[in-house]
Amino acid sequence: MKRVLSIQDLSCLGKCSITVALPVLSAMGCACSVLPTAVLSTHTAFPDPHCRSMTEDILPMAQHWKTVGADFDAITVGYLADPEQAEQVGKVLDLFSDTVVLDPVMGDHGRLYSRQTPDHVRAMAGLCRRASYLLPNVTEAALLTGLPYRERAEESYLRELAAGMLEFGVKSVVITGFQWDDIHTGFYGCDRETGEFSYKAQRIPRSLHGTGDLFAAVFTGGLMAGKQPCDTAALAAKFVERVVAATPEVSPFGAEFESQIPWLVQQI
């Protein structure tokens, strides 16, 4: 069985990050361990969450695992509560794995999430150099490359963003969560060896919290099942589409991904 470590926040209410990575990766047949970067009462789309940052605890936890013989086939990294965590997470990567899926969770729709700062962007850029696969949305790719943010993602713009992201030295980049046009959503990817790949599907006009985290979890589970980046990205996009369609209303309490888990299990 493949073993995956998920390093991101534990938002205790409002489905995202660890609370979606664990069930998705388990359903895809991976043993998933977690290293919370912070414990929050809710994710930050709710007003004023209580947040306990785990900056001081990240490395000691991983060092303890080393003494008990833990190892991982892949590590996924997401939300960092403080820019200082990038250095700690980098040390964990040194201890454990070469295969790193990094979703540089920092913002959406052209803006940083509350609690995220320009220092986070600098720190995340450093961590991008350690990644094998990068899964930014357009906002995050623009922040990390220094290119302007554009709401309407034309192919030439996506290509420019992806080229900038490949300069971090990663194998593949997949830019997620944007609109191709009024009716289509999808992703644009570029793999250093196999070149460009992309995906277009009918858009359901609903912006739900945690869908990027679901995408990252399915992408990682598919990689662990032996899929190529373009195929596992397509699986992740189809799963997110089904989740959005199955969620009756937009609410910060999160998407109804649970009903789509049986479908996901069948794809592996």
**Which residues make up the interface to ligand PXL (CB under 6 A)?**
9, 11, 16-17, 40, 43-45, 79, 105, 113, 209-210, 212-213
In the complex, which residue's CB is closest to ligand PXL?
Answer: 44
Q: Tell the smallest beta-carbon distance from residue 196 to ligand PXL (Å).
A: 26
Least Cβ distance, residue 67 to ligand PXL (angstroms): 30
Q: How far is the CB of 52 from ligand PXL (least distance, A)?
A: 12
For ligand PXL, which is the closer residue by CB, 98 or 258?
A: 258
Question: Of 54 and 230, which has the nearer Cβ to ligand PXL?
Answer: 54
Q: Which is nearer to ligand PXL, 168 or 215 (CB)?
A: 215
State which residue, 115 or 200, has the beta carbon closest to ligand PXL.
115
Q: C-beta of 16: minimal distance to ligand PXL in Å?
A: 4
Which is nearer to ligand PXL, 197 or 215 (by Cβ)? 215
Comparison of 17 and 53: residue with beta carbon closer to ligand PXL: 17
User: Measuring CA to CA, how many Å separate 235 from each of 216, 243, 251?
Assistant: 11, 12, 24
Least Å from the CB of residue 135 to ligand PXL? 12
> Alpha-carbon distance 76 to 28, whole Å?
15
Cβ at position 20, least distance to ligand PXL in Å: 9
